[in-house]
Structure 1
Amino acid sequence: MKDNIQNNTIQGVFWSFFERFGQQGIQILIAVILARLLLPEQFGLIAMLAIFMAVAQSCVHSGFGSALIQKKDTTPVDECSVFYFNILVGFLVAGLLFLSAPWIAAFYRIPLLTPLARILSLNLIINAFGVVHTALLTKRIDFKAQMKVSVIAAVLSGSIGVAMAYRGYGVWSLVAQSIASNLFRTTLLWFFLPWRPSWIFSLGSLRSMFSFGSKLLFSGLLDTIYNNLYLVVIGKMFSATELGYYTRAEQTQQFPTANLSSTVGRVAFPVFSSMQEDKARLKRGTRKALSSLAMVNFPLMIGLAVVAKPLVLVLLTDKWLPCVPYLQLLCVVGILYPLHVINLDVLMAQGRSDLFFRVEIYKKATITAAICLTARWGIIALIYGQIATSVIDYYINSYYTGKLISYPASEQLKDFLPILSLASLMGFVVFLAGYLPLQNNLVLLFSQVSIGIIFYISLCSLAKIASFVEIRSIALDRYHSLRHRCDNC
């Protein structure tokens, strides 16, 4: 029983990760096409609104979606109460953003932001109708349905965005893509999940989840504000074009890390919650998840940093070259990010949203200090500040993991340091491969990536890294299962 739950954590994380390759591949393709058709300044305009949209979206989610996942025995009254509450908040927050749009435009001194913000506020209402559906699918660990929803929504909305960009609609093509993506996603959630709200509502039900959900709401608001604070600082102190370069670098770096972290959060939280009463078993599951994440994320980030220049030239063209140093430094920031997620999921699974909120306060204090110390020196200095805070925040995140399940940062470091060493050695080999006498950037990129993958897999196999052996076993089992199905067709 114990091993089954631990294995479910690993299988759930990585099966969900591989399932989402289709969705992420589509999003990458669309992002590349749009980056070729549009100007950095147009991406910068949307980035200026990111913090306002993200904060508003956090209010819409209100923490009750996570409360539904964490609560063991939810009732139809709980689900319907959260559903109607989210819709009410969605309309209220969207209205507030609509009215605040002129002040946002005045802050940046860009009048065009007023209509952009008002149209984008529709996303808040649309998303409110899908919060409970997403929570219920996550609680059931049904990621295949969510994958189908995301892929279909990405294809349809991406096609709309690319068509409009090709016809010269500029920044409005990004707005249309965003609205269409959320509209298709919410509609498909209702299609794939048969749950429908009844005409019932209970304040008592909301109150029973408020203690957990409210702390997550405030923590989420803090996290959202500070995750987007760099966009506000750069947008205010520098140009929209510079912000466009930064956001393109950040989004490129976040494709692998956000995908991996999202998968981990969706799987680890419900699985960890199911074993919250057995801390020894939770520690074993956490250790397996953390080691496996490190084995995937470390080489991804180090490799991406090394091949950043040929990657940008091949995918985005030379007009985006100024984002290369930003991308390389942000990859250093992204190395530890999925490990933050694992440690925070332990707190949530234990129902300690109070500690979760306290951790967020500490972390935000370090970010504020870093911004104040580095902003005057430029964007590169700001990113160096992010690197420093990433390391500090990891120790803050892991502090309570050590207290709750006796898995402190020092023990975690012992688990992932060998993997970091192998990934660093792989990065050095890929760096040397960059000096191959190849004139074509596509050929050079392909060569570096191929050498890196083969070398890293060989190193992990020779070193007999436990997480690698387990993931390889899971992948082979999945391959043989699929092959058996095909043979029987």
Structure 2
Amino acid sequence: MVSESAEFKGIGANDESAEAFGSRVRRAVIWRSGSQILAQIITWGSTLLVIRLLDPSDYGLFAMTQVVLAFLAFLNGWGFASALVQSDSVDPFRIRQAFGLLLLLNALLAAIQYFGAPLAAAYYGQPMVAELLRVQALLFLATPFIALPEVMMSRALDFRRQAFVNLLAALAGAGTALGCALAGYGVWTLVYAPLAMFWTRAVGLTLVARLLVWPSFDFRGCGQIVGFGSAVLFSQLFWLVQSQSDIFIAGARFDAHALGLYAEALFLAQIFMAKFVPPLNEVAFPAYARIKKDAAAVRWSFLKTVRILTLVAAPFYCGLAVVAAPMVETLFGTKWLGMVPYIQLFALALILMTVQILFAPVTNALGKPSISMFTAMSGAMLFPASFLIGAEWGLIGMAWAWLVAAPLLLVVTARLSAPLIGVSLWDVARAMLPGLAPALVMALGVGFAGQAIDAMGLAAPVQLVLLVALGALLYGALLWLLERDALAEMVRLVIRRQAATADAPAQDAI
């Protein structure tokens, strides 16, 4: 049995000072983002070795299974558990109810995936897909033991203990991936590594949170959990339609090798948005929930988040677009050079997508998950329609579809969310400008330099080092000359000093 221990009470307390809460949020960001960066270094160290040992067709087969896995995973009940974060208070019985929901849903999903795997294999015309999916059903059985302790520790903004478990899981996954690839397991390498990570996290988080509880299957009185979770669930469903529809459409039209190039290009381009922004949103959600009654604090914190994140995301994506060719040749080898045109298009679109996903934690924390649901619904219509049209010009046409759909979705999201947050489209654009404008100028300069360096016949690793160094120097110089205030704000965040701005509310939450 679990009691509502002191570590899970703090988030809703009213007696915590704004300064103490701001400090707690910054520590949470440092632990969550810092551990994520270190975990990604570990994972990518392994990935760079594994990707040289496997073939694009292996990644193509794996991408086909991920569409099925993702469409089932939206029902895994994580949204029901997240309702515990948004609530002002939580009692032990509600925790047991949430655990019961998680166990039932994920056992059902594991069974559906196991027995339905042949249908997916028939759609793709790849018998191997059925075998892969049946083993991957084990991922669902680990989910309840990850979701509940992670949500409860996030509620208390306790990301330190999560960080240690996540690093251990990254080591387990990286070691499994490298060992399987060297042993010649082929596509199974991509299946066993996530299983090792998931189950390591499941055991580790359950132990460090001390949250091994008896589930309750008495769901009377859990209307708030179901109501909030249902809105989040539908948001996730629409998001999955948006994010997986390109692979679903392409999987039946193009061969596994070509699809593997496209899928890995998308994975590489999305690394910042998919790996580093969600951990920040995990901190942002409970932080916004804590200050949800202070409209000025919510508005100021949101715009600050957009401004600082764009200062990092814009140069990353613009730089990725112009150094894609030497980077792919250096890191992955010449057999992966077919990814380059896809990466360049994805990178430009993902600048806008990175900002778009910052809205959901705010609107959810303010008790309006329906807004996130409607924005996700818009994406579920815009992206598949764009992909279907783009597919007429091949996979490159589908990559171009990202550049059409991404800005449209950002505008729709901002129009729906801005009134609740208290901002306008112009406020969001102004928050993005300090990072975006210098990044675009930097990309032009590095692009012209890249053409000159390539004409010199230098090796790809040398080109990559020179271009990255030039881009960093040029972007830093442009920030110093044109956006010195924004640069100072980012420096203050890094060294953990509170900005002394006259218009900032007392709660420096995000």
Q: Show the counterpart of 1:83.
A: 99
Structure 2, unaligned stretches of length 5 or more?
1-16, 498-510
- Give, in whole Å, the separation in 2 of the partners of 1:474 and 1:438: 41
Deviation at 1:142, TM superposition (A): 2.2
Q: Show the counterpart of 1:481.
A: none
- Give, in whole Å, the separation in 2 of the partners of 1:9 and 1:304: 30
- Range that drifts further, 79-88 or 354-363: 354-363
Q: Show the counterpart of 1:459.
A: 478
Q: Could you tell me which of 88, 94, 102 is aligned with 1:72?
A: 88
Deviation at 1:310, TM superposition (A): 0.6
User: Which SS does the other structure have where 1:335 is aligned?
Assistant: helix
- Range that drifts further, 222-231 or 10-19: 10-19
- Give, in whole Å, the separation in 2 of the partners of 1:10 and 1:152: 23
- Give, in whole Å, the separation in 2 of the partners of 1:132 and 1:402: 31
Evaluate the alpha carbon distance shift between residue 10 and residue 304 of structure 1 in structure 2; reply closer, same or farther with a 3 A threshold: farther
For 2:238, give the aligned amino acid.
Answer: L
Q: Show the counterpart of 1:472.
A: 491
1:66-465 → structure 2 map (5 Å cutoff): 66-198=82-214, 200-434=216-450, 435-436=452-453, 437=456, 439-465=458-484
Q: Deviations over 1:389-447 (max 9, x none)?
A: 11011011111332113212222112212321111111122223322336121122111
User: Which SS does the other structure have where 1:433 is aligned?
Assistant: helix
Q: Deviations over 1:139-184 (max 9, x none)?
A: 1222232222222112122212211111211111211112111111
- Give, in whole Å, the separation in 2 of the partners of 1:476 and 1:134: 27
CA contact 1:261–1:337 (8 Å) conserved in 2: no
- Range that drifts further, 341-350 or 425-434: 425-434
For 1:375, give the aligned amino acid.
Answer: A
Deviation at 1:9, TM superposition (A): 5.7
Q: Which has the higher helix share?
A: 1
For 1:43, give the aligned amino acid.
Answer: Y
User: Which SS does the other structure have where 1:256 is aligned?
Assistant: helix
- Range that drifts further, 49-58 or 291-300: 49-58
Evaluate the alpha carbon distance shift between residue 177 and residue 15 of structure 1 in structure 2; reply closer, same or farther with a 3 A threshold: closer
- Give, in whole Å, the separation in 1 of the partners of 2:459 and 2:269: 23
Q: Show the counterpart of 2:43.
A: 27
- Range that drifts further, 7-16 or 308-317: 7-16
User: Which SS does the other structure have where 2:126 is aligned?
Assistant: coil
TM-score by length of 1: 0.93
Deviation at 1:463, TM superposition (A): 2.6
> Deviating runs (4+, > 3 A) in structure 1?
1-16, 198-202, 464-467
- Give, in whole Å, the separation in 1 of the partners of 2:320 and 2:101: 42
- Range that drifts further, 368-377 or 28-37: 368-377
Q: Deviations over 1:54-109 (max 9, x none)?
A: 12222113511221111121111111111121111111111011111111111011
Matched positions, count: 478
Deviation at 1:366, TM superposition (A): 1.4
- Give, in whole Å, the separation in 1 of the partners of 2:495 and 2:370: 41
Deviation at 1:303, TM superposition (A): 0.4
For 2:184, give the aligned amino acid.
Answer: G
Q: Deviations over 1:367-406 (max 9, x none)?
A: 2321232221111111211111110110111113321132
TM-score by length of 2: 0.89
- Give, in whole Å, the separation in 1 of the partners of 2:214 and 2:229: 22
For 2:164, give the aligned amino acid.
Answer: K
Evaluate the alpha carbon distance shift between residue 279 and residue 4 of structure 1 in structure 2; reply closer, same or farther with a 3 A threshold: farther
CA contact 1:56–1:124 (8 Å) conserved in 2: no
For 1:466, give the aligned amino acid.
Answer: D
CA contact 1:51–1:232 (8 Å) conserved in 2: yes
CA contact 1:65–1:82 (8 Å) conserved in 2: yes
For 2:132, give the aligned amino acid.
Answer: L
For 1:419, give the aligned amino acid.
Answer: G
Evaluate the alpha carbon distance shift between residue 477 and residue 89 of structure 1 in structure 2; reply closer, same or farther with a 3 A threshold: closer
- Give, in whole Å, the separation in 1 of the partners of 2:491 and 2:28: 14
Q: Show the counterpart of 1:487.
A: none
User: Which SS does the other structure have where 1:110 is aligned?
Assistant: coil
CA contact 1:10–1:289 (8 Å) conserved in 2: no
